[in-house]
Chains A and B, each alone.
Chain A
Amino acid sequence: MPRKAVVNRRKCAYCGACIAVCPVDANELVETYLEIYEDKCNGCGLCSKVCPMGALAMVEVE
């Protein structure tokens, strides 16, 4: 099953680390919050490795 990155907005500190490493431009800091575009995310997990807050989880989707 494919994996996707999912953000826990209560943990996210709006830092931009995950944007800097996403190879497919699948995420964005929209003014005050993080948006992940599920259709673009390839499940590589790099963003969750770089997140200083542990706010990103990789979950399996259908």
Chain B
Amino acid sequence: MYDVVVIGAGPAGSMAAKTAAELGLSVLLVEKRQEIGTPVRCAEGISKENIEQFFEVDKKWIAAEVTGAKIYAPDKTEVVMSEEMAGNEVGYVLERKIFDRHIARLAAKAGAEVYVKTTAVDFERKDGKVKVRLRRLGEDWEVEAKILIGADGVESKVGRRAGIIKTLRMDEVESCAQYLLTGLDIDERYTYFYLGREVAPGGYAWIFPKGDGSANVGIGVLPKIAKKPAKEYLDAFIEREGIEGKIVEFVAGAVPVYGEIGTAVSDNIMLAGDAAYHSDPITGGGIANALSAGYYAGKVAAEAVEKNDFSAEFLRMYDNLWKNDFGKKLRRNKKLQEKFLEMSDETINKLAASISGKNLKEMSVRAIVTELLKAHPKLLLDLKDVFM
């Protein structure tokens, strides 16, 4: 019997496995793909701070470093956010194919067993433990665990089958498409965001440089108001912007934009990362929270094993940890997203114009909203409480 079985070797799962194994637990990390990290479902952007909190940075999995962001309103009004001092990079664009494998390897190094091309097909809680049915190369078998960590991403079955989460509604998920383009002529110090109902209804389009004239060029749209598949919006965006470059990789994906769930645990089970809808409802970023959640889940697993208590009540300790860390931000940004969805393109143009040219020194959602609140205290009245 394992102390912990982790399902899914994305950032959340590998981080949970690594943490639990480092704390001396017996851990099994199960990933259904034959290669960890591929196909990528990500634009790979993350703040420097969030990475350095957990890892020693290795150039092998950093594609590019950026110093700021440029945001474009529908009428092309530009809002620039950049760090004061040049050379003070604030963000990384990762090479997730390598990054994800790196964390899985760290987990293995810490003592976790790792099975790839192995699917967790089902689980059952019985007599205070969990029986997990695994399938590899068409063969089924069962393992037992004291704790099951569901880090199985946006397609999570663990959370739904355990009754912890509901399926996403059409306004709780971003449908995404992205190309890795090469041969681009862009200023690679910036990431770029494009807003507007025409361009990306309920979402945005992005360009994240990956160095050497290449970049992730993608789009996320909200199915509730989108009129066609994300890929068609992406092609239209690329045409409109006159972006030339050759497609060398194709990515599709979905990001939960749900906000904060009530609890991510039930008896013997914890959910981490996209499986727990931990991604940010306004930016769609989920790597940082997935890493933190995985870390907390691993820690709490160790405590639970020590106390020999796997009840939901005990595991709520995990809820407290992730909620204290980023729960408020999820709530806040969900409100902001709802506000954003009400805005017409004209309103967005107006808001952008009012802060365009201001020097936003910090690269964050909070920095923008704070600046907007100064310019339009009334318009955004209901956001004031959550941001100030």
* Chain A interface residues (CB < 8 Å from chain B): 13-17, 19-23, 25, 28-32, 46, 49-54
Contact = CB atoms under 8 A, between A and B. Distances in A.
Contacts, number: 86
Contacts of B177: 52-53
A23 to B, nearest CB: 5
Contacts of B252: 13-15, 17, 52-53
Nearest to B277: A20
B310 to A, nearest CB: 25
B253 A16 contact: yes
B265 to A, nearest CB: 20
Describe A's contact surface by its main secondary structure: loop
Given A13-B250, A17-B176, A20-B254, 5 more contacts: A17-B254, A25-B161, A46-B170, A49-B226, A51-B229
A16 B153 CA distance: 9
A21 B173 contact: yes
B231 A17 contact: no
Nearest to A14: B39
Contacts of B155: 16, 19-20, 29
Nearest to B170: A49
Interface string B164-179: 0001111001011100
A7 to B, nearest CB: 13
Interface of B: 32-34, 39, 41, 117, 119, 153-157, 160-161, 167-170, 173, 175-177, 223, 226, 228-232, 250-254, 256
Contacts of B251: 13
Contacts of B223: 21, 49-50
Contacts of B34: 31-32
Nearest to A24: B167
Contacts of B39: 13-14
A46 B250 CA distance: 23
A50 B256 CA distance: 12
Contacts of B160: 25
A52 B230 contact: yes
A14 B41 CA distance: 9
A42 B133 CA distance: 27
Contacts of B170: 21, 46, 49-50
A52 B253 CA distance: 7
A20 B117 contact: no
A31 B32 contact: yes
B382 to A, nearest CB: 28
A15 to B, nearest CB: 4
A17 B254 CA distance: 5
Contacts of A13: 39, 250-252
6 contacts: A14-B39, A15-B176, A21-B169, A52-B231, A52-B254, A53-B230
A27 B124 CA distance: 20
Given A30-B119, A50-B170, A15 B229 contact: no
